[in-house]
Amino acid sequence: MPRILEQALRQVELLRASGRDLQGATVLEIGTGSAPVVPLIYSLAGGDDIILVDHVRTLDLDLLVRTAFNLRGHSREISARLDLPERDVLQRLRVDDDETVFAVLRQFHMQYLAPYDLLEATLPDHGVDFVTGSDLMQQFTPRYLRAMMPVIGRLLRPEGLFCHCVDRADRLGAVTLLRESGFDIVSEATEPVLRVVTGDEPEVQRTTPPDSFLLAAWRGGALRADEH
């Protein structure tokens, strides 16, 4: 299974395990790039307003449709991990011919903002339930990341969470960045997960890539309020 798909499914599992409900959620993804796997999985999991932001505009109709089509090839795994009927997964990932990029974005409850600089964010304060980003330590300079973290905190609702997925080699730097920027780590998964996939084919053992998944809450939100 592609690493980015495992990252997306693992995020949803961790958020659900933390007691968060993704149904109707507003989600912000930082750095979607050319493979919108993560926002598509959040859409399947119940996200109702999924905002994709990129510094450079890379996503187009072909990439969006192709990614949805490729995910249909993993419908069994997605169905099992998201606890959805496989037929629903297949149906919801189907895109009609001759649709425009705007129609397909609407189908998946997405809006795409690019080019977009989060430091100049025009999104409303405290309007996002979940912010997600993968390998941000490799995408942005340390200076930019330090400036971006308080913006993420401002955009999150009091009960909101930031899900930061990083290569395990970057885990210590990511934890330090979050804590120094005003976040508290509320959940973490760092070990690869060995999964046994069963079905019509013989059992297959798969080990996921060695990623670290950090769920963090802004100190100005619910965690800080609970301390008083």
Q: Where are the domains of the chain?
A: 3-226
Q: Confidence band (pLDDT; 50, 70, 90) for 3?
A: confident
Q: What is the mean pLDDT of residues 125-149?
A: 94
Q: What mean pLDDT value characterizes the chain?
A: 89
- What are 146-160's pLDDT values in tens digits? 999 999 999 999 999
Contacts of residue 151, defined as CB under 8 A and 6 or more positions apart, other chains included, come to 118, 119, 121
Q: Which CATH architecture has domain 3-226?
A: 3-Layer(aba) Sandwich (3.40)
- What are 71-113's pLDDT values in tens digits? 999 999 999 999 999 999 999 999 998 999 999 999 999 999 9
- Pinpoint the alpha helices (H) of 73-221: 75-82, 86-92, 101-107, 136-139, 142-155, 171-181
Least confident of 33-42, 130-139, 191-200, 209-218: 191-200
Type of residue at 72: R
The answer to whether the CB of 67 falls within 8 A of the CB of 35 is yes
Q: Confidence band (pLDDT; 50, 70, 90) for 209?
A: low
| pLDDT number for residue 78 | 98
pLDDT of 116 higher than 70: yes
Query: What are the C-alpha distances in Å from 169 to residues 3, 35, 175?
Result: 16, 23, 12
HSE at residue 189, side-chain half, CA atoms within 13 A, is 20
pLDDT of 227 higher than 50: no
Structure tokens at 137: 């330590």
